[in-house]
Structure 1
Amino acid sequence: MRIKRVCLCLLVLLMAISVCKAQTDPKAKAILSAVSKKYQSFSAIKSDFSYVLDNPQENIKSFKQSGTIIANPKTNKFRITIYELLGGKKSIGQEIISDGKTQWTYAKKDNEVQVNDADNKSQTLNPAQIFTIYEKGYKYLFSGEVKQQGVIYQQIELTPTDSKKPFFKIRLLVNKAKSSIYSAVIFDKNGSRYTYLLTSPATDYKGTDTIFGFNKKNYPGVEVVDLR
């Protein structure tokens, strides 16, 4: 499912805040360094997000999702929960979980979980690496300030140095007063545009590592499809 792959591979870009070592604009570097400093001491990171997809080729306009991400960049572990509305109430629709070695993708509608080996290759956008994605492979440029609803944001344009990436640009908005990522827009080569918003401040997650695993006992009757 394309939407599933998009959420897994591109969500990481919304919260990526470490300093890039490629050719960079000193102004952009200073901004991202200030953001990075806020979270470097976190053992794991938790935040809510919303997501909008516009894909003219597939005639998809303003497809919206919301969810929560918990990630530990030091160990490549993450848990993404995507919500859906049923009868006007929010409930879990999908979960994507990785302990750094195994990845589980659970679909509540089918009560099925697909099991794969975790893909930690350098070419893969791993949601666990939300604070290290910019350490290499990107150029970035400060492109000015914008004001939205009374809040001033600093705009940064990023371009990957690897031409094989499926996207050609990322546009970040950083809250100037709080030194925190507000939004990211990913521009895909196929004409799609993915917009992510952090709907809650990123916080230090204090829970245990069991959150990064899949326990069948918590999913009665689940069908396990092992694709390894």
Structure 2
Amino acid sequence: MENFKKSTFTIAIVMIALLTSFSSNAQGDKKSSAILEAMSKKYQQIKSFKAIFTYTPKGEKSLKGEATVKGMKFRLKMAGQEIFNDGKLMATYIKETNEVNLQDSDPTAGGDLDPTKIYSAYKKGFKSIFLKDKKEGSKNLEVVQLTSTNKSSQVDKVEIEVNKADRSINSWKIFQKNGQEVVYKVEQFQPDVTVSDSFFAFNAKQYPGVEVVDLR
């Protein structure tokens, strides 16, 4: 279960990196590249955002998650855990054990959970193709598939649904090489939110009795 939670967090942060800094440097056909480039341009113009989403592991019930992002700072809440990253320090708080793990957010020391490192690997490690047009209620969607070309990646492929009307992401489905599948769906999206930098820093005073594990 802990490995699943960690991989779920990692995948979610891959998507945060996708929203904030995706580049069409990934190889792909013209249509998929154009769709991804338009989607990327939309999100790059947003200085900060808050998103509420559901994530549904294959064969299980849907759960809710929440992400607030400002540049490379982010705060992500899901799977009974919460990650704070203020650009200097990354803190992973585990509610069940009232424990927080501290790591350097430097890309050379932050491990798999560092958005910059994930984005660098992602940009060079996927090939895109256009799959199909899709209708969902009043929404007209375009579905793009990203297939991993990186043998060491835990992700096999990603299917992204992009809204034709405003180039926003409707949902994405992750296929992992170990057979796990998770569907993420954006339920609410608030662009250009006003949020202070202190929101992204873990404050132990707000968590009485928390055990601090410094992994730096």
TM-score tier, shorter chain, comes to 0.7 to 0.9
> What residue is the counterpart of 1:50 in the other structure?
54
State whether structure 2 residue 97 is matched by structure 1 residue 110.
yes
Number of aligned positions between the proteins: 211
**Cα distance in 1 for residues equivalent to 2:11 and 2:143:** 19
Query: What letter matches 1:95 in structure 2?
Result: E
Give the share of equivalent positions with the same residue, in percent. Answer: 37
> What residue is the counterpart of 2:60 in the other structure?
62
User: TM-score scaled to structure 1, two decimals?
Assistant: 0.81
> What residue is the counterpart of 1:164 in the other structure?
152
Instruction: Compute the displacement of 1:3 (Å).
Output: 3.4
Structure having the larger proportion of residues in helix: 2
Q: Tell me which of the two structures has the higher relative contact order, counting C-alpha pairs closer than 8 angstroms and 6 or more residues apart.
A: 1
Query: What letter matches 2:84 in structure 1?
Result: I
Instruction: Compute the displacement of 1:208 (Å).
Output: 1.4
In structure 2, relative to structure 1, the CA distance for the partners of 1:20 and 1:184 (3 Å cut) is: same
In structure 2, relative to structure 1, the CA distance for the partners of 1:94 and 1:44 (3 Å cut) is: same
In structure 2, relative to structure 1, the CA distance for the partners of 1:131 and 1:173 (3 Å cut) is: farther
> What residue is the counterpart of 1:10 in the other structure?
11
Query: What letter matches 1:77 in structure 2?
Result: K
**Cα distance in 2 for residues equivalent to 1:169 and 1:161:** 9
In structure 2, relative to structure 1, the CA distance for the partners of 1:172 and 1:190 (3 Å cut) is: same
- 1:45-194 alignment runs, 5 A limit: 45-54=49-58, 61-73=59-71, 76-82=72-78, 93-118=80-105, 120-121=107-108, 124=112, 126-127=114-115, 135-194=123-182
**Cα distance in 1 for residues equivalent to 2:119 and 2:33:** 14
Instruction: Compute the displacement of 1:164 (Å).
Output: 1.1
**Cα distance in 1 for residues equivalent to 2:111 and 2:135:** 35
User: TM-score scaled to structure 2, two decimals?
Assistant: 0.85
Contact 1:72 1:129 in 2 (8 A): no
SS for the counterpart of 2:62 is strand
Compute the RMSD of aligned alpha carbons. Answer: 2.6
> What residue is the counterpart of 1:87 in the other structure?
none
> What residue is the counterpart of 1:38 in the other structure?
42
Unaligned runs of 5+ in 1: 55-60, 84-92
**Cα distance in 1 for residues equivalent to 2:85 and 2:7:** 16
